[in-house]
Amino acid sequence: MKRFILLTILSCLCFSQLVYAKEPSALSGYWLTRKDDTHLPSSVIQLHVDDDGSLYGQVIVGFYEVNAPLPDRVCSRCSARTVDGRYGVAHNQEIVGSYAVWGFKKRNTNTWVNGNLIRIKTGQRYRANMTLRSPDKLDVRAYYGVFYKTLRWERLTRTQVEDVCRGDISSVTVDVNVRSFCVSLKK
C-alpha cells in the first residue's frame, strides 16, 4: 500500500511538472524592439514557451527606412557561435523567420533567466534575462562579461502585428518613411 501511495504521489508530481512546463507565460506574445539610436522600430519578436518549458522567440517582422539603404535580409555576421541546434541564426540565414531568442528558463511568473539572444547587426550572441515590468513592457538585459545593457520591448497585439504586415505601421511609429516585411503569422 505504501508503494502505491508513493507511486501515486510521484506520478502526480511528474505530471504537474509537465503541465507547468507547457503552460503559457505572461511573456508569450508579440514584442516590438526599437533601434537604440533613432528609437524607430527594429523588429517584432513572437515569444513562446517550448515543449521543454524554455522560452524562445522568432523574428516575425523586420522594419526598414525607405530613404536608407535596404538592410541585409540575411545575417552575414552570424556564425557557428550564433546557432544552438534549432535556435539561433546561422551565417547568411534569413533574419525574419529566424529564432534569435531562446533558452530562457522560468524563475518566477515575470522573470526568465539564462537565455540567449543574437544581435543581428553585429552577429554577436549574448546571455540574457527577461523581466516583465508591466503587462506591456518587457526589460531584456543582455550581458557581455560583467557589463550589461537593458533593452525595453513593447507588447503588441496580434491585430497590431497583422496591421503592420499589411503596411499600416501607425501603431508602432509616426515616421511615414518606415516599411515592414513579415513572415506569415501562425494561428
- C-beta neighbour count of 99 within 10 angstroms: 24
- C-beta neighbour count of 173 within 10 angstroms: 18
* Per-domain residue ranges of the chain: 25-182
| 48-92 tens-digit pLDDT | 999 899 999 999 999 988 887 777 789 999 999 999 888 999 999
pLDDT-derived band of residue 121, with 50, 70 and 90 as boundaries?
confident
Residue range 25-182, CATH number: 2.40.128.520
Per-residue pLDDT at 187: 59
Q: Which residue has the higher pLDDT, 85 or 107?
A: 107
In the predicted structure, residue 9 carries a pLDDT above the cut 60? no
In the predicted structure, residue 5 carries a pLDDT above the cut 70? no
Per-residue pLDDT at 57: 96
Among 19-23, 82-86, 109-113, the range of highest mean pLDDT: 109-113
- C-beta neighbour count of 113 within 10 angstroms: 17
DSSP string, 44-104: EEEEEE-TTS-EEEEEEEEEEETTSPPPPSB-TT--GGGEETTEE--TT-BSTTSB-EEEE
pLDDT-derived band of residue 24, with 50, 70 and 90 as boundaries?
low
* pTM for this prediction: 0.83
Per-residue pLDDT at 184: 76
Residues of the chain above pLDDT 70, percent: 86
